[in-house]
Amino acid sequence: TNTSFRKGFAMLWKHLAASLREDMLPSEENVLRLIRDSNEWPPHCRNYIEAG
């Protein structure tokens, strides 16, 4: 739904900021690892990325 996509977009930026706070480059690999390791439920960000 639109709400899920909005939340996923916002969570993606949260993970990008987290990678910068941890002195990591926000590369695709690093951000995907942060998303995978997060205990986000429901997984809005993961669903947003999978939807393309």
CA distance 9 to 50: 12
Given pLDDT bands bounded at 50, 70 and 90, which one contains residue 37? confident
Of 33, 39, 36, whose CA–CA distance to 19 is shortest? 33
Q: ∠ CA 2-16-12 to the nearest 5 degrees?
A: 15
DSSP 45: H
| Residue ranges covered by each domain of the chain | 2-51
pLDDT value at position 20?
92
CA distance 6 to 44: 9
CA distance 31 to 50: 14
pLDDT value at position 10?
92
Q: Mean pLDDT, to the nearest integer, of 16-36?
A: 88
